[in-house]
Structure 1
């Protein structure tokens, strides 16, 4: 099997403060390193978007685990596809918390994460997620 990429969105069922996000990232990075996975996590106001890339079996297995995690609901795949190369090759799990200040620095960002919990079908579309991930990949500040 070759490389594969999946992008999903979900809504947190429990509060995620900076400490919880840091703990989640630490565990994810360690696990992803062992599985040969890379990617990026975006989080704002209880809404997650994540891209995972790596061996197809590992990506699919992790998505299945995430879908069963009680800390998430409304887990929805936006897009998935075989890839020839990784978009986030150096990141076992890149992360950007989306503050209002950070959002204002993103041209054309608009309201990607501005939705009520459980309403990700409204704001999360494939084209918007592709654009946003590409912006973060090329503007790593």
Structure 2
């Protein structure tokens, strides 16, 4: 058992607050997601998976990706360049503005995104399989509310 002075988010004591538990859970889930994506036949980082998913859902400009990820253009451009060089994305001039580049998933990108999505779906199904239906009915709205509240805080920055 740890005391409050030495407690870390990985070693929660019996007096941990809801916020501390949420932060610890977020860290653990991120670690598991990172490991799962890195272990795929076509390894991806979380950021790469998110970019592929967002481009696949129609967010095809660097500006749109920056807004969604709350990242600056140079950081996003570096990530996109790497995905282009690996053959997951392609670039072409936008039909509406020749100065704007439009991103598109390649066949390799679609396969990587879909494989990752299936594995993440399998992981989340396993993660929640032991929860009683009543618990799921309570957790989903509460966690969704927290998620959107946090998202609103990011959007305000």
Say yes or no: TM over 0.5: no
Which protein is richer in strand relative to its size? 1
TM-score range, shorter chain: under 0.3
Instruction: Normalising by structure 1, report the TM-score.
Output: 0.27
Structure with more of its chain in helix, by fraction: 2
Larger radius of gyration: 2
TM-score between the two structures when normalised by the length of structure 2 = 0.25
> Which of 1 and 2 has higher RCO (CA within 8 Å, sep 6+)?
1
